[in-house]
């Protein structure tokens, strides 16, 4: 096992490994399960004794009781400055109390060497994160917001863990809808030169109009279907129209990515199109593709309906593209982890694609080994009426409008706050521009955070009131807490480096210790959030961190106390970890708001 200085849990796990190997050399498979426990006996706990005892009894090996198994584990622990004391509790559980001194020293070391030394180690070199992925000419809706925000956070966490991340926008830029779009474009603009953004105006409206034509006019429908074939056959006039439509749509999407400050690389469905025939050929040669009702399909155990890879009319579909994309990502891009972020409604699709890939030997059967493909599904966004989130006129909610609204609500609040502050004589006087900036920062952060903090699999109710609340687990609360923290340490900014290198951090007060211990858990939490692809784990951590800090600050005087230096260092460490959490969630905090 490689030593990871940042990850307290893995360091402790290594100690227990050593102990288990020494105590029970004939039990090579025992994995030490070290969990944080809420008991007052210790900070971590090894729960292996009962399982081992049962096994020994079965084998006829004699251990008097479960307590003595625990005893053996405890006695064989290598000496370590991490551990303050150990004790045996309940059914042979080994409780570990970590050393205050060690916690303090580790935190101070991070302050000097940087939070990067606390980044997790993952057994992954390169990952593809396929996220956002809206469809050209169609609305980018709240579902795509979830995908964008969750995907960005996952990418950030992996990047922090030193994984080479390919951020892929798998836009829907290749499908039968282009037939009607192109045909409608030709109809509206017989002169190609007339086509441009302003002439088309609202691309979504354009999509709707063309769809209506498609559904009501048979001649148009026939032309549109022919146009698909012409486009896919590579006829230049059609390709040109397609390029124009994509370009207009792309500009719309880019505006949103710019607002959200999310970076993505577009590699849409069309990119993989040239690879499809080869990939399907290879699968056919392996005997995996069968003909079923005129289509070419892959049957997958446990699924009633097969995965269609070539349609009856010879065309390709969503699944053909995803098979080719998976092949490309594994073989050309050499990714070891391929992560897809979409709503849970697409789970079956990805299940089938992954199973087909396993059948073909592209991926190992065992999900515990790499290369690996994972679907990160998320639930629906609901309105406050508990139904699918819609506008009053029952249209899909436009992303831009949501962000705008969050911002303008925050702006209103910030202005009121400003007024109050002035009457109270507190002299922060923001300019109009600064207020605008703050409102944007906090408003957008609130939308992002509300999306991330829920376990992503459950549906969530979109509520401005809730997400913009300055109390509770919201970005607003956290950003204000961070700014307050910054104002405490501001005075020490000038000589903070000196304090870090010559001062001494001690954790004598119980609330100092609790805060310090929580800071030390940062690395294992990020690792857990990465491995399980759950940004919500990091949100919970951040919220708890700010609670531990509040408690500490309430009970421990910082400025002007005898422990001032140590406590300033603890504040500085909290600010450092909070800042990193925000960053991993795609939020940029401000020192002053
Ligand atoms: N464009 C799809 C949608 O809007 C999402 C694509 C997800 N990625 C993938 N490789 N299939 O639902």
Residue 578 · residue 485 · CB < 8 Å? yes
Banded pLDDT at 266 (limits 50, 70, 90) = very high
State the pTM of this model: 0.94
12-44 pLDDT, tens digit each? 999 999 999 999 988 888 888 888 766 678 899
Record the tokens describing residue 470, joined without a space: 């300055």
Domain boundaries, the chain: 8-98, 444-584
8-98 CATH pick, 3.30.1360.70, 3.30.1330.40, 3.30.460.10, 3.40.50.20:
3.30.1360.70
516 CA distance to ligand 1 centroid (A)?
Answer: 42
Banded pLDDT at 422 (limits 50, 70, 90) = confident
Using the predicted structure, report yes or no on whether residue 157 has a pLDDT greater than 70.
yes
- Would you tell me how many other CB atoms lie within 10 Å of the CB of residue 501? 10
521 lines ligand 1 (CB under 6 A): no
Query: Rounded to whole angstroms, what are the CA distances from 24 to 17, 129, 561?
Result: 10, 42, 51
Atom nearest to 343 CA in ligand 1: 12
172 lines ligand 1 (CB under 6 A): yes
Residue 131 · residue 151 · CB < 8 Å? yes
Banded pLDDT at 197 (limits 50, 70, 90) = confident
32 lines ligand 1 (CB under 6 A): no
254 CA distance to ligand 1 centroid (A)?
Answer: 17
- 86: helix, coil or strand? strand
CATH topology of domain 444-584: Isoleucyl-tRNA Synthetase; Domain 1 (1.10.730)
Banded pLDDT at 502 (limits 50, 70, 90) = very high
Using the predicted structure, report yes or no on whether residue 170 has a pLDDT greater than 50.
yes
348 CA distance to ligand 1 centroid (A)?
Answer: 13
- Per DSSP, the residues of 560-592 read TSTTHHHHHHHHHHHHHHHHHHHHHTT----S-
130 lines ligand 1 (CB under 6 A): yes
For residue 1, the model assigns a pLDDT of 40
Q: What percentage of the chain has pLDDT greater than the value 90?
A: 74
> CA end-to-end span of the chain, whole Å?
45
324-334 pLDDT, tens digit each? 999 999 999 99
Q: What percentage of the chain has pLDDT greater than the value 70?
A: 97
170 CA distance to ligand 1 centroid (A)?
Answer: 6
Q: Please report the beta strands in 334-401, taking only residues with DSSP state E, as ranges in sequence order.
A: 337-343, 372-378, 381-382
Q: Tell how strand 307-310 and strand 295-298 pair up.
A: antiparallel
322 lines ligand 1 (CB under 6 A): yes
For residue 36, the model assigns a pLDDT of 74
Region 113-141: mean pLDDT is 93
Region 473-502: mean pLDDT is 96
For the chain, the C-alpha Rg in angstroms (whole number) is 29
Q: Tell me the longest C-alpha to C-alpha distance in the chain.
A: 92
Using the predicted structure, report yes or no on whether residue 489 has a pLDDT greater than 60.
yes
134 lines ligand 1 (CB under 6 A): yes
Banded pLDDT at 385 (limits 50, 70, 90) = confident
For residue 155, the model assigns a pLDDT of 98
- ipTM of the assembly? 0.99
For residue 194, the model assigns a pLDDT of 81
Region 186-213: mean pLDDT is 85
Query: Rounded to whole angstroms, what are the CA distances from 416 to 131, 426, 566?
Result: 38, 14, 37
Task: Report the alpha-carbon distance of residue 580 to residue 160 in Å, rounded.
Answer: 10
Banded pLDDT at 344 (limits 50, 70, 90) = very high
52-82 pLDDT, tens digit each? 888 888 877 767 788 999 999 999 999 999 9
Taking CA 467 as the corner, what is the angle to CA 204 and CA 458, rounded to the nearest 5 degrees?
75
| Ligand 1 probe mutation, 128, 170, 352, most atoms within 8 A of CB | 170
Q: Please report the beta strands in 77-203, taking only residues with DSSP state E, as ranges in sequence order.
A: 83-89, 93-98, 126-130, 164-169
172 CA distance to ligand 1 centroid (A)?
Answer: 7
For residue 196, the model assigns a pLDDT of 77
Atom 8 (ligand 1) nearest CA:
170
């Amino acid at each position: 096992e490689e030593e990871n200085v940042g990850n307290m849990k893995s360091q402790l796990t290594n100690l227990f490994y050593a102990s288990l190997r020494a105590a029970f050399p004939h039990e090579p498979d025992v994995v030490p399960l070290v969990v944080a426990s809420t008991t007052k006996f210790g900070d971590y706990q090894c729960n292996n004794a009962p399982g081992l005892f049962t096994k020994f009894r079965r084998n006829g090996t004699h251990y008097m009781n479960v307590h003595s198994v625990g005893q053996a584990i405890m006695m064989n622990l290598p000496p370590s400055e991490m551990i303050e004391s150990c004790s045996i509790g309940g059914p042979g559980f080994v409780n570990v109390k970590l050393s205050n001194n060690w916690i303090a020293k580790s935190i101070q070391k991070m302050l000097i060497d940087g939070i990067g030394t606390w980044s997790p180690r993952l057994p992954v070199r390169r990952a593809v994160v396929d996220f956002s992925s809206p469809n050209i000419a169609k609305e980018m809706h709240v579902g795509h917001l979830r995908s964008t925000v969750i995907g960005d956070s996952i990418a950030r966490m992996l990047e922090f863990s030193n994984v080479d991340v390919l951020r892929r926008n798998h836009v829907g830029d290749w499908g039968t809808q282009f037939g009607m779009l192109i045909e409608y474009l030709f109809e509206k603009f017989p002169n190609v030169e007339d086509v441009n953004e302003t002439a088309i105006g609202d691309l979504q409206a354009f999509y709707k109009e063309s769809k209506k034509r498609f559904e009501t006019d048979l001649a148009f429908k026939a032309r549109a279907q022919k146009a698909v074939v012409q486009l896919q056959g590579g006829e230049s006039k059609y390709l040109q129209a397609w390029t124009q439509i994509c370009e207009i749509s792309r500009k719309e999407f880019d505006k949103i990515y710019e607002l959200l400050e999310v970076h993505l690389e577009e590699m849409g469905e069309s990119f993989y199109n040239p690879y499809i025939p080869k990939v399907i050929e290879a699968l056919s040669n392996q005997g995996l593709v069968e003909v079923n009702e005129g289509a070419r399909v892959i049957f997958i155990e446990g699924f009633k309906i097969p995965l269609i890879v070539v349609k009856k009319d010879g065309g390709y579909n969503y699944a053909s593209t995803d098979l080719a994309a998976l092949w490309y990502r594994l073989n050309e891009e050499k990714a070891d982890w391929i992560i897809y972020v979409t709503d849970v409604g697409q789970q079956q699709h990805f299940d089938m694609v992954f199973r087909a890939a396993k059948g073909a030997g592209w991926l190992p059967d065992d999900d515990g080994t790499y290369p690996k493909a994972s679907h990160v599904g998320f639930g629906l966004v609901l309105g406050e009426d508990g139904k699918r989130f819609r506008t009053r006129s029952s249209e899909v909610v436009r992303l831009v409008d949501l962000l705008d609204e969050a911002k303008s609500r925050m702006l209103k609040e910030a202005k009121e706050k400003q007024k109050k502050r002035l009457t109270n004589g507190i002299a922060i006087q923001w300019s109009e521009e600064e207020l605008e900036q703050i409102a944007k920062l906090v408003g957008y952060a609130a939308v992002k955070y509300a999306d991330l903090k829920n376990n992503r699999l459950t549906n969530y109710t979109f509520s401005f009131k809730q997400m913009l609340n300055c109390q509770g687990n919201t970005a607003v609360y956290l950003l204000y807490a961070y700014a307050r923290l910054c104002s405490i340490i501001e005075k020490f900014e000038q000589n903070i480096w000196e304090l870090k290198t010559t001062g001494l951090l001690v954790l004598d007060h119980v609330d100092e210790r609790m805060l310090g211990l929580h800071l030390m858990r940062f690395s294992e939490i990020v690792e857990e959030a990465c491995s399980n692809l759950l940004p919500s784990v990091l949100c919970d951590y951040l919220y708890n961190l700010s609670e531990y800090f509040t408690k500490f600050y309430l009970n421990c005087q910082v400025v002007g106390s005898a422990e001032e230096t140590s406590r300033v260092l603890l504040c500085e460490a909290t600010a450092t970890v909070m800042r990193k959490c925000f960053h991993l969630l795609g939020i940029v905090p401000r020192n002053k708001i």
